[in-house]
Structure 1
Amino acid sequence: MSGWIDRLKHWAKQIKRDVYAVWFAARDPDTPLLAKLVALLVAAYAVSPIDLIPDFIPVLGYLDDLILVPLGILLVMRLVPAEIMQRCRDKAEAASQKPRSTLAAAVFIGLWLLLAYAAYIYFYRATA
């Protein structure tokens, strides 16, 4: 029984590495435009806390992660030339943490601040 658990753990590590590789492929200047867009969508979906089917729904909640993410990775691997994908996999293998984007972080922080300011103005005017 531990044999299939070991295979499952190995598969999960490969998926994690491939999500990073897809992220790197989306940022690689040699990746074709369509492949970049698909890679960006797949990577964003894989690391996003928002899922197509929420995780709190028993069984179905994790089904999208088990099916959609690997299918998206396979699609990206077909769209990205093999030598670029291998280079991105090598980068992913060397990476020890999740890919970060300071620009994306700044955009999200800005959006949250703007939303907080809008809520403040809305409630301030409602009580004044």
Structure 2
Amino acid sequence: MSNILERLKHKAKHLKAEVMALYFAYRDPRVPWYAKLLIVIVVGYALSPIDLIPDFIPVLGYLDDLVLIPLGIAMVLKMIPGPVMEEARMKESTLTTKPKNWFAAAIIIVIWTIIFGLVLLNVASWIRK
């Protein structure tokens, strides 16, 4: 069991490193615009301090971390030239702190506020009936 946990920790560490490498690859002019667009989405979401699906929700809470982020990373990596990613990974290896993306957090808060508002409106209309 501890072997499985160690492997999962290693994979999580690797994913974090890849997200940061994508952060650096975004700034490279050799990366196509469509890859940059997807990088913004993937890195913005991964670095956001707030998840689209909160982690305290059983199973679904970790689904985004376990599926969406790795899937996004895999898609972006196919769009970025190899030498660019090598350079970005070298830059990432010297990084000491991870930046936070508060803009992505704000977007997620807006999405949850809209959902909450729609639920309240539906409950209010149901009560009035």
**Structure-1-length-normalised TM-score:** 0.72
| Alignment partners' CA distance in 1, 2:13 and 2:54 | 23
**Aligned-partner residue type, residue 11 of structure 1:** K
Structure 2 residue runs without a partner (length 5+):
107-129
Matches within 5 A, 1:1-128: 1-99=1-99
Partner letter of residue 79 of structure 1? M
Total equivalences in the alignment: 104
Unmatched 5+ residue regions in structure 1?
109-128
Mean alpha-carbon deviation: is it higher for 26-35 or for 92-101?
A: 92-101
Moved more, 89-98 or 50-59: 50-59
CA distance in 2, matches of 1:65, 1:30: 28
Q: Distance in 2 between matches of 1:28 and 1:95?
A: 17
Provide the C-alpha distance between the structure 2 equivalents of 1:100 and 1:5, rounded to a whole number of angstroms: 26
C-alpha distance in 1 between matches for 2:64 and 2:77 = 19
Q: Distance in 1 between matches of 2:7 and 2:100?
A: 29
Q: Which has the higher contact order (CA 8 A, sep 6+)?
A: 2
Post-superposition CA distance 1:35-66 (Å, at most 9, x none): 11111110001011333322221111111111
Instruction: Tell me what 2:126 maps to.
Output: none
Q: Indicate the SS of the match to 1:27.
A: coil
How does the TM-score come out when normalised to structure 2? 0.72
Contact 2:49/2:100 (8 A) holds in 1 = no
What amino acid is the match of 1:35? A
- Please say which of residues 50-59 and 5-14 is displaced more in the overlay: 50-59
CA distance in 2, matches of 1:28, 1:99: 18
